[in-house]
Amino acid sequence: MNAPEALLKTPLTALKVRLGGKMVPFAGYEMPVQFPEGVMKEHLHTRAHAGLFDVSHMGQIRLRPRSGRMEDAALALERLMPVDVLGLKPGRQRYGLLTNDAGGILDDLMFANRGDHFFIVVNAACKALDIAHIREGLADDCEVDEWSDRALMALQGPQAEAALAALVPSVADMAFMDVAEVRLIGVDCVVSRSGYTGEDGYEISVPASRAVDLAEALLADGRVHPIGLGARDSLRLEAGLCLYGADITVATTPVEAGLEWAVQKARRTGGARAGGFPGAGPILKQMAEGAGRRRVGLLPEGRAPVRAGAQLFETEISSQAIGAVSSGGFGPTTGAPVAMGYAPTSHAASGTRLFADLRGGRIPVRVAGMPFITPGYKRT
């Protein structure tokens, strides 16, 4: 038998172990699913105060135009995504999607205009394929550099601003999706006002050699607690945010996933730079005519969570499933189970009653709008 592949560690692994993190395999890395507080308390602490997450397993990429002109890099990146890259101003960040010729989603990502390059953050499980895909598609126009000597952490929650501003007051002036170079603990960091919890907060790219110093400085603030993967998942689920590999995959299109808002006017039919991206035909057709299914929020009746993979039925006695749950669990903030999944567009209106399979039985679930909580983003 082959020996199991050794798990990778992040620059913060030793600190997380020291803090009592329960370490588990995740996307090839050793990551904490929770700390001694437990998932429920970590979730609620983040909603009320501030939580610190290690997300260093994600991929960080710098994309520089070979010509020196950012317009060339923007137009090159638009060949891979149905997104308005050219219109993104310096110091701003945007959500993006890599698509294939069938319109399927290869990955979702965040990208920022840093003035002379684009800074891209991709999902951990996809990063090797993403980097290869970007290099293959853009090598003639851009230098694609994996920023592997960096750590990435997220500080999330209503008190995140106060905690980070205690170290550098200027971050309080940043608005949602702003990106800036900020000097923290004597080292230059790339800071965005964004996150994956539905709360206000920041993501901080820091040199790996100083990651522990910065994490300890933040955790020295009593408002900031370490948070693991378990609470990260329940927080993003309540916020209605997609998890790649579960809620969106290569088998889903942006329209099916309810992400057509990420396809800006310039890339749509009739726009200044319409099409020209992988899957433009099927994606733009669905945007005009609709898709056969939609990602929807689901509120199960009772207290029992409905988990990913549970089939959805039109009635309590239907034999043929019409959809499936893609993510589900108990919402500590909502105080009730929440889920999302895919249903036929004909059954996707809020208030529609469906039935989900639960341990061999059927329980009612109601289609509901997302997010399930009120987001706390700082818009201005």
pLDDT reported for residue 319: 95
Sign of CA dihedral 163, 203, 297, 37: negative
E strands in the chain: 22-26, 29-34, 50-54, 59-65, 93-99, 105-113, 118-122, 142-146, 150-156, 179-184, 187-192, 201-207, 224-226, 293-300, 311-313, 323-331, 336-344, 353-358, 361-368
Nearest residue to 340 via CA among 199, 239, 216: 239
pLDDT band at 1 (very low <50, low <70, confident <90, very high): very low
**Residue 376 confidence (pLDDT) above 70:** yes
186 located within any domain: yes
Q: Which of 204, 238, 272 delimits the end of a domain?
A: 238
Q: Which domain holds residue 174?
A: 13-51+149-238
Return d(Cα 328, Cα 302) in angstroms, integer: 14
Average pLDDT, the chain: 97
Contacts of 45 (CB under 8 A, 6+ apart): 37, 51, 157, 225, 227
Q: At 154, which CATH number? A: 3.30.1360.120
Look at residue 20 and tell me whether its pLDDT is greater than 80: yes
On the CB side of 334, CA atoms within 13 Å amount to 26
- In this predicted structure, what is the pLDDT of residue 82? 98
Q: What is the CATH number of the domain that holds 296?
A: 2.40.30.110
138 or 5: whose pLDDT is higher?
A: 138
How many domains does one find in the chain?
Answer: 2
Residues 154 and 228 in one domain: yes
Q: Which of the listed residues 218, 238, 258 is the one where a domain comes to its end?
A: 238
**353-358 and 311-313: which strand pairing?**
antiparallel
Q: What is the pLDDT of residues 53-63, one digit of tens each?
A: 999 999 999 99
Residue with more model confidence, 1 or 20 = 20
- Quote the pTM value: 0.96
Asked if residue 373 is part of any domain, the answer here is no
Q: How confident is the model at residue 4 (pLDDT cuts 50, 70, 90)?
A: low
Domain assignment present for residue 159? The answer is yes
Q: Are residues 160 and 234 in the same domain?
A: yes
How crowded is residue 62: how many other Cβ atoms within 10 Å of its Cβ? Answer: 18
Task: Assess whether 306 and 161 both reside in one domain.
Answer: no
Q: Are residues 200 and 336 in the same domain?
A: no
Say whether pLDDT at 2 is over 60: no
The DSSP-derived string for 128-152 is: HHHHHHHHHHHTTTEEEEE-TTEEE
- Both tokens of 344, joined, read 């036929």
Of the CA atoms within 13 Å of residue 11, those in its CB half-sphere come to 21
Residue 106 lies in a domain: no
Q: What percent of the chain has pLDDT over 70?
A: 99
β 224-226/50-54 pair status: parallel
pLDDT at 379: 84
pLDDT at 133 over 90: yes
- Let me know if residue 191 belongs to a domain: yes
Residue 264 lies in a domain: no
How far lies 181's CA from each of 49, 160, 190, 206, 239, in Å? Answer: 25, 18, 5, 10, 28
Q: Are residues 218 and 332 in the same domain?
A: no
Same domain, 153 and 220: yes
Angle at 101 between CA 147 and CA 65, to 5 degrees: 35
Cis peptide before 332 (omega within 30 of 0): no
Backbone angles phi, psi at 290, to 5 degrees: 95, 160
User: The tokens of 167 are what?
Assistant: 């170290």
Would you list the DSSP string of 355-373? EEEETTEEEEEEEE-S-SS
pLDDT band at 380 (very low <50, low <70, confident <90, very high): confident
